[in-house]
Amino acid sequence: MTAASSAASPTAPIDAPPHFCSGLVVRPTTPAIGADLFGVDLSKPLSADEKQDILDALHTHQVVFFHDQTLTNAELSAFSRLFGEPQPANESSFDKDEAFPEIDVLAFGGGRRPYNTQELWHSDFSGRAMPTMGSVLYCLEAPSAGGDTIWASGYAAYDALSDKMKAYLEGMQAEHRTIKAFGDDIRSNLWKDEKGRKRLQELQALPPAEHPVVRTHPVTGRKALFINEGFTERLLGVSRKESDAVLGYLFEHTRVPEFQVRFRWRKGDLAVWDNRVTQHYAVSDYTERRVMHRITIRGDRPF
């Protein structure tokens, strides 16, 4: 599949017209999703206007990209709190900075295989009763080629549904299960040692969560599809056969390239995405080192 790419550098011109906030330049990456943000150094304290501009850009564009940032762990952690309370990603992370337990160290390549060994479009931790609000992902090392991330807009996917499908899905709930995303059939290399086997047992014991198939964003009031093949197990109130057929259609529907943005990572890049209205896919086509620091933000119950 293909997706539009965010390949702009801080000094390169871009065809999409920027709109200027208080010192912040916002350049949309695609009409549906994504924007590059320039004119701010995230290592320094942000003004009230800058904070609001960044939040507004995130709510509008769903995922925003910063470039050429140089951040300590303390600075990264401080910036993440603009979006809410950091929440450890205990289900997926094995590597932590002990001084900053909210930071997940995602280091792969260079002989260490990425753990998403099968296709896994997902909305972060939707198997929780209160899925994460979003994530902050900071690139410390990037491969010379590969290792992109693709995001898809739940807004665009919902808006493109037929009126009859929207009516069918209105008020419907779906079951999300954490073990579906982290089971041994997908990430078997995580569960080989004793620590891994214990973690797998813990994941298997987690109860399912029920969420609306169509979610309303608490800030914008817009509706978005809130299903993903990583965690969504079944639709409730219909037969398994009907559920599989409808979910299969919705999973494919959300992958339309017009709903997507594809980002090529460089050292110093930082992305923030709104997990409530997006899903994403980590492309595991690289062998060189790729080192990211991730902070996930505590969310609320979808409605």
By annotation, the residues acting in catalysis are 122, 124, 280, 294
Look up residue 139 and give its two tokens: 């690139």
What string of DSSP letters covers 41-80? -TTSPPPHHHHHHHHHHHHHHSEEEE-S----HHHHHHHH
What string of DSSP letters covers 126-190? TTSSS--SEEEEEEEE--SS---EEEEEHHHHHHTS-HHHHHHHTT-EEEE-HHHHHSTTTSGGG
Distances (CA, A) of 161 to 23, 123, 174, 214: 37, 19, 18, 11
Look up residue 17 and give its two tokens: 């017209």
Look up residue 132 and give its two tokens: 């994460």
Can you list the pairs that 198-206 forms with residues at least 24 positions away whose Cβ atoms lie under 8 Å? 203/91, 203/178, 203/179, 204/179, 206/127, 206/177, 206/178, 206/179
Residues 6+ apart with CB under 8 A from 29: 4, 6, 8, 16, 35, 36, 61, 65, 261
Look up residue 216 and give its two tokens: 């309303």
Separation CA 172–CA 88 (nearest Å): 30
